Amino acid sequence: MHRHLWNLVLGIFFGIWCLGFGISSAAFGAEVLPPKPPGYFNDYAGVVPKDKALALNEKLAQFERDTSDQVVVAVYRKMESDSSIEDYAQRIAQAWGVGQKGQRNGVVLLVFVDDRKISIQVGYGLEGALPDVTAFDIRTRHITPRFRTGDYAGGLDEGIDLILKAIRGEYKGDGGTVREKSRTSPSTGCGPLGFLIMLIIVLSIIRLGRRRGGYGYTGLGGPFVSSGWGGGWSGGSSSSSSSGGGFSGFSGGGGSFGGGGSSGSW
């Protein structure tokens, strides 16, 4: 009887192995996407005063609590890609999953100071509230004129204000951010069959009686260390390194982007 069960377990592992092949076939290009930033406002280029950056970060965190919209701003020195700014920015926004999954209500404002490139990426769910024309207007009439004079803080401040003004009222928040609400709940995307398989695996592991040491790690709540990677992204005053208790960290809600928004040079 035990051998019967063992055969079943072996067979199921084989089945999973077969299925696994289909999933692992995603292909990626050679460019480097910056990792998901720790905060809502991230200045890796050191062009915005720290207190200002922190204030903007709090403002954006509060905006998510109020409206559930996620607006993330990141200022870098250089692009790590040969693509155009609009393609690159769309991939970054998509990779970070800014916005809630259901509403897809994220906006990402990316600035590459040395390249003099800027992009506003608008998630699918906000394309109505913040259409391309409005994003274009915010970018070319309010942000880049100030950037040209070297006033990055002022341009970003005004740009963020206008973006928030445009999208406020589209969705309602529930008082918390994704990070504040997040728990490490297991994903239930497998359906009943997956659940059955998982159950059998878990049972078999228990039966085998093998124990491994406890991991005891949670990916949440730790200090935010914006580690430098690939050379280009590090070496700025990231707003996260500041003290002043209660820095609100950012976690993406799984939003998606379809190329809406406006991008260009200044």
Give the footprint of another protein on this chain (CB under 8 A).
3-4, 7-8, 11-12, 14-15, 18-19, 21-22, 25-27, 84, 86-87, 90, 114-116, 131-133, 135-137, 140, 144, 191, 193, 257-266
Closest CA to 70 of 183, 185, 187, 163: 163
**What is the nearest approach in angstroms of another protein to the Cβ of residue 45?**
13
Residue 39 burial (CB count, 10 A): 26
CB of 135 to another protein, least distance (A): 8
* HEC-encoded secondary structure of 223-235: CCCCCCCCCCCCC
The minimum distance between CB 248 and another protein, in angstroms, equals 30
- Give the amino acid at 214: G
- Between 68 and 81, CB nearer to another protein: 81
Task: Look up residue 39 and give its DSSP letter.
Answer: B
Q: State the nearest-atom distance from the C-beta of 161 to another protein, in Å.
A: 20
Least distance from another protein to the Cβ atom of residue 186, Å = 19
Nearer to another protein by Cβ, of 60 and 79: the residue is 79
Smaller CB separation from another protein, 84 or 234:
84
Q: In what order do the strands lie in the sheet with 106-112?
A: 41-43, 70-76, 106-112, 117-123, 257-265
Q: Of the two residues 7 and 234, which places its CB atom closer to another protein in the complex?
A: 7
Distance CA 260, CA 110 (A): 14
What six digits make up the tokens of 5?
A: 């069960």
